Amino acid sequence: MEEKRIQAQYLVTSIPDDVPQIILENDALLIKNKSDEDITIPFSSIDSIKILPVNRIYNPSVGLLKDGFKGFMAHRNSGQFSIYFNYFVDLNIYTNTGNYFFESLDLENASKFILKLNDSFKVEDDVSLIDLFKTKSINEIKDYMDKHYKDLAKTYNLENPRTTLDESMVRLAKNLAG
């Protein structure tokens, strides 16, 4: 597998969807990729698994703000000139035959998957995401990340934000984030 990050749904059980999926089995991880054959990674071949948070600019759109000016709007920050960030989980799997890098498609399924995975295989978690997943709701985790992601990004050298948007949008997001 190529060493680039793939966005995938992290799942405890498979779903009938055509998105890339990482499924937790009894003694392995199953990677279902819509364009390739399924890949099974037995826990016995895994050297380590590491998780880290990532933030992305989420559905920014131009619209009219409360004061009538055009700007970026999203439901969490509507009515303010701001950019909405959403949080995901990077999953880095290091094996004796190659490395696999994933980014979750959502935080809720990712948190359930990571908690279950950590029961079967010790997950490296420098940022203490597992503790957050155990003790906080998804909304509480998002609020926590809104307040602390900037410091976590500096401490753990995380992208802030990770994006595929054009340079002007990236500059605006970095100014707002930091």
All structural domains of the chain, each given as residue ranges with its CATH number in brackets, are: 5-56+87-177 (2.30.29.30)
pTM of the complete model? 0.76
Secondary structure in 3-state letters for 77-134:
HCCCCCCCEEEEEEEEEEECCCEEEEEECCHHHHHHHHHHHHHHCCCECCCCHHHHHH
Per-residue pLDDT of the chain (178 residues), as tens digits, is 445 888 888 988 888 777 889 999 989 999 988 766 888 999 999 999 999 999 887 555 544 444 444 444 444 444 444 556 789 999 999 999 999 999 999 999 999 999 999 999 999 999 999 999 999 999 999 999 999 999 999 999 998 877 655 555 556 656 665 5
